[in-house]
Chains A and B, each alone.
Chain A
Amino acid sequence: MGIPLPRRRVLVAIASGAGALGLATACTGSSTPVVPTTAAPTAPDPLLSVLEERARLVEAYDAAGHQHPQLLARLQPLRMQTEEQVLALRLALGLGEPTRRPTASRATNSPSASAVAVDPAVTLEDLRSALRASGSTAAALCETTTAQRAPLVGSLAAAAGCHELLLA
């Protein structure tokens, strides 16, 4: 799944700029020898993992609904709420709104059903499993993330549990 990561690129650019500034200072008369250092690679924002899992869930709901139309009424509200979560995460990460696929394109590029189990009960179990994993990721991050993000991340952890309950 290709989620564009412009913010990471911006952070890397800033880090590179800081490295260059340090080198310039060393060349303009500081008496203390300065060893030019390479900028440390910027660690990915941990919120990206939550975003990627929720985005994969949206795709999984699409694929499950495509393979098992009888599940659509049950899955559609969860899919819509998960899409809202993806949007909130993108905004929290400064990624902006995702580019929406045109309806026609969506219809012709239906999600591959190859990864979806033939048995609807197994499909639901797979979705529950993905929700548990995504809920665990959010719950773990909730303990360490910033105070500003903790309410959103905690809410996403709780939502995963609620969605799992509805697929039981």
Chain B
Amino acid sequence: MSVIDALQAALAGEHAVIWGYGVVGAEVTAAQRPDVRAAEQAHRSRRDQTADLLLSMAAVPTEAEAYYELPFPVIDPASGLRLAVHLEQGAAAAWRFVLGGTDDGELRRTALAGLTEAALQATRWRLVAGIQPATVAFPGQ
């Protein structure tokens, strides 16, 4: 898989995360909603940066799907938070994959930032949801 393919996969992951946060936001409590919004905004920024990066590499950024299948029923705040963890884990995995697809130091920094931010946000959601342990040994793996 080329680095462009890996970046396209990461971009597709960001599209899915943004869509998924819409579902999360509909299920969490009102008090949790601002944090969901902030997390979603962070992924919107990363999505735009990734699309710009692909354009700079003469690639056409992949577009968002109209609909995504949820990995499990999301019916209440608890399952909403579990979905938020799931989304961030997926984003971390996509960015981790980019790391192995390039020798370019700057691109590695970009991918590591994506991996780290997603891993940190997954940790924050696990804390909110009371999931233990709140971290994993190898984020993105």
Contact = CB atoms under 8 A, between A and B. Distances in A.
Interface of A: 77-78, 80-82, 84-85, 88, 139, 142-144, 147-148, 150-159, 161-163, 165-166
B46 interface: no
B77 interface: no
Given A147-B101, A161-B119, A165-B123, A154 B135 contact: no
A81 B102 contact: no
B137 A139 contact: no
A22 B67 CA distance: 65
Interface stretch (B7-15, B29-37, B50-58, B110-118): B110-118
Given A85-B137, A155-B139, A162-B134, 20 more contacts: A77-B132, A77-B133, A78-B135, A84-B137, A143-B109, A150-B99, A151-B99, A151-B100, A153-B99, A154-B96, A154-B112, A155-B96, A158-B115, A159-B138, A161-B116, A161-B119, A162-B119, A162-B120, A166-B127, A166-B135
Interface residues of B, number: 31
B102 A155 contact: no
Nearest to B132: A77
Given A77-B135, A81-B137, A88-B138, A142 B108 contact: yes
> Considering the complex of A and B, which 10 residue pairs feature the smallest CB-CB distances, nearest first?
A81-B137, A77-B133, A143-B105, A158-B119, A150-B99, A84-B137, A158-B116, A158-B139, A162-B135, A162-B123
A60 to B, nearest CB: 17
B49 interface: no
Interface of B: 92, 96-97, 99-103, 105, 108-109, 111-112, 115-116, 119-120, 122-124, 127, 132-141
A159 B124 CA distance: 13
A155 B120 CA distance: 12
A154 B140 contact: yes
Contacts of B103: 147
A159 to B, nearest CB: 6
Nearest to B123: A162
A81 B133 contact: yes
Contacts of A147: 99-103
Which one of A80, A85, A147 has the highest number of Cβ atoms from chain B below 10 Å of its Cβ?
A: A147
B123 A81 contact: no
